[in-house]
Amino acid sequence: MKKINMHLLTSRSILAFHLAAQENSFTKAADTLNVSQPAISHGVRQLEERLGVELFERNPQGVILTEMGEKLARRIQRGLAEIQLGLEEALSHTQPEKITLLVSTSVASHWLMPRIARFKHLYPEVQLHCITQDTDQGLQESRFDLCIPLGLAPETGFQRWQFAEEVLTPVCSPEFAYKHQLHNLSAINDIPLIHLEERYNSRYNWQHFFDDCNLSPHSSRGDETYNDYSIVLQAAMEGQGLALGWQHIVGPLIQQGKLVAPFEQQIATNQPFHIIAPEHKPLNPNAKALLDWLLKEMQ
């Protein structure tokens, strides 16, 4: 096979041919490069003259690749694909890879945010993109590296790691507990409760609590319902009623004195919270670092 001096070819003529071959049109190739149509035609003609072959059949209806043109177009396509991969690989070493974490607003506000500075100190090169979503609908279609679902972890399609046991206890503001003299569970029937509207796989609710504690049904007079657990906790801190508190979320609020757990009762279920990741997408080193950190912080 005759050798060719690549230095005699211009990148402009090769690119002009590549785009014209993709579009089967000099005009569309010119639009892509934002140049004139004659510039594309000249570039292709220059390449043909250097090679001594015709790459396109030209007719009034447009241009069509010749047999040799089709062979050259396929090889150039493969070559440019390799160049793109090389450039993206080089770019990945200069730009931090963004890691997407999908969590509920309450986990982000009351568990993650107080701790995130420690993660940034340990892994300053990791760019964390935290998205809050208060529903588990559409998890299969969502794009994320790691996620902490509100409900039970999906059975298929995801890797999963246990994040926290589900342990609950009623919580309220210190003022509310004092005002209503909340010393035993019998007081629940006389006070407003704050409910979380279930928009995801069913988790524990007040009815479950009444059943587990052998309490009679509660009158709903004065009760409030919200569809965001962060608002449920805010309402509880403002003294609007008694809320069910998931221990891993309300623990810091109790330590800060913003909430109290007036009763000794704690309910532990067999439905722990999990961290999940798409099954088809292996964790990259940054995502693995975030996963290990999340699990360690919860210990």
- Tens of pLDDT, residue by residue, the chain (299 residues): 556 555 556 688 888 888 888 888 898 888 888 889 998 898 899 888 888 899 999 988 888 899 998 999 888 888 888 888 777 777 666 555 789 999 988 899 999 998 999 999 999 989 999 988 877 777 777 789 999 988 888 888 899 999 999 999 999 999 999 999 988 888 888 899 999 887 655 678 898 999 998 888 777 778 999 888 899 999 999 999 999 999 999 998 999 999 999 998 899 998 899 999 999 888 999 999 999 999 999 88
Q: 6-92 is classed in which CATH architecture?
A: Orthogonal Bundle (1.10)
What distance in Å separates the CA atoms of residue 120 and residue 260, rounded to the nearest whole number?
Answer: 31
For the domain made up of 167-268, give the CATH fold. Answer: D-Maltodextrin-Binding Protein; domain 2 (3.40.190)
What distance in Å separates the CA atoms of residue 106 and residue 226, rounded to the nearest whole number?
Answer: 13
Amino acid at site 70: E
CATH 3.40.190.10 for domain 98-164+272-298, yes or no, is yes
Task: Give the phi and the psi of residue 166 in degrees, each rounded to 5.
Answer: -90, 105
Its pTM stands at: 0.63
What distance in Å separates the CA atoms of residue 37 and residue 60, rounded to the nearest whole number?
Answer: 15
Going along 106-184, which residue ranges are E strands? 127-132, 146-147, 158-164, 167-171
122 CB burial (10 A radius; 0-12, 13-18, 19+): exposed
Cβ contacts of 140 within 8 Å, gap of 6 or more: 154, 157
Topology alike, domains 98-164+272-298 and 167-268: yes
Domain edges within the chain: 6-92, 98-164+272-298, 167-268
Size of the chain in residues: 299
